[in-house]
Structure 1
């Protein structure tokens, strides 16, 4: 109910205010499990994508957003829930495995899950190397991957600030990548690396970012 209310009332107002440019929304399959793999420039990314996607997108969010008390805590919990987000303990030693399990459950239910293969936000605007969790999900759940290129969201909410600015941004949905049968017989580790690199190449083509060529170290909390 909260999600439906957000889509009917809040989303149209947000789209009218930001006026985002959207390309390739028809590339998102209308049924079945789908993985949206995006670059990550800002905290606002996890709102920008669901705002314009043709289907509900599930993202993971820090558990503390759902556990606050009082009016502020209730408002935070309602907002994140309405956006389709699922809480996860980020600092738990088993957080990575838990996140993958949650994602697989979402995909196996035939829903859409959003993931940032870089792991955390880019602080310099470059596109960093992707972690293989995205390929693990795609190959295990046997779902297509739709690459997403975000442009300009770092200006909507710059890293280090809670203020949201009225800045134009673009969301590009690329053509689905289907790995069905293509990596059969390839060693698991190599298959995941090959699939991840293909996904990151597609994201780079959409976002136009310079490639960093290395992993992005987590230096600050991220969504």
Structure 2
């Protein structure tokens, strides 16, 4: 990553036009080719940017009077595959440094499936009054079921947990249910598809197959109170 603090003017030409007048800014050039222009306020978002794939070319203005001692401005032209351009006219560079950051492991989001599984097992009553935990990671021949439990009537229930509930998750739970219902010690086994967000298509497919859908509130499972405005 290259970080440049410079007095610059930025002009964007593409599907629309945009102009940033001359001012001190941070220019960030990332290893993936993207170029971002930041100010020292406003928000975390760049003032303007060009997403990869794009290419940066440096030019020096040939203008200026003969014998002039001032260095002519430099122009960086960033062009993407669609022909759009980000033109950065640099009057003065105060800082220019480059760093090799390496491969990033990615954001570890709070509330991943493993955390949701632990919390739901600890608060199994979230599934309904009278529910009892049998096992977490109940192993089958095709993989572990997130949670196996009994409802208030003693019937077996298999729970598949996702952060985002999509059709693939419903299909996965369906395969588990088909296998578990072959076990005479467990059958009949009902299914619950639990997620922080369940896509409408996934909900429709699950309900069509007799699988109950449950939207999980991660903060409530952790015992955190909602910050929503309430009358009482």
Q: Which has the higher contact order (CA 8 A, sep 6+)?
A: 1
TM > 0.5 between the two?
A: no
Task: Please identify which structure carries the higher strand content.
Answer: 2
Q: TM-score, normalised by structure 2?
A: 0.25
Task: Please identify which structure carries the higher helix content.
Answer: 1
Q: TM-score, normalised by structure 1?
A: 0.26
